[in-house]
Amino acid sequence: MGEEIQVHKRQGNLEPFDRGKLLKSLTHAFHKRPHNPEEILIRIQDTQEYLQKEFDNVIPTLAIAESIMPHLRKIDWVAYVRYASKYKQFKEAGNTHDPYTSSPTMT
């Protein structure tokens, strides 16, 4: 883990992995939602360690989102939808899924 982790952005450029950016994004997703900030930090650490094992030192942006979203879904559905909407590019509310059923929600 001595080498710097790079993130491969959608536009094709590379930039250093920034835990602060991930924390800011998750903090925004949990805005006005009940949560344990320590749990969020643990999930960030777990995600970073997992991604380093899977991708060496260059990690696609989408891989970061896809690895953190299952944790968010278990912690808070609203925070999950907020975060996922940025990466999954939901076109309308009907594209989300109700956490209590396997069917899409109807708007």
pLDDT tens for 22-65 read 999 999 999 999 989 999 999 999 998 999 899 888 999 889 99
Q: How far apart are CA 87 and CA 66, in angstroms?
A: 9
Terminal-to-terminal C-alpha distance of the chain: 46
Contacts 24+ apart (CB under 8 A), 53-58: 57/3, 57/4, 57/5, 57/6, 58/5, 58/6, 58/7, 58/8, 58/14
pLDDT in tens, 56-82: 889 998 899 999 999 999 999 999 999
Residue 97: pLDDT band with limits 50, 70, 90: low
Q: What is each CA distance from 61 to 10, 13, 25, 35, 101, in whole angstroms?
A: 7, 11, 13, 24, 29
Q: Judge if pTM exceeds 0.75.
A: no
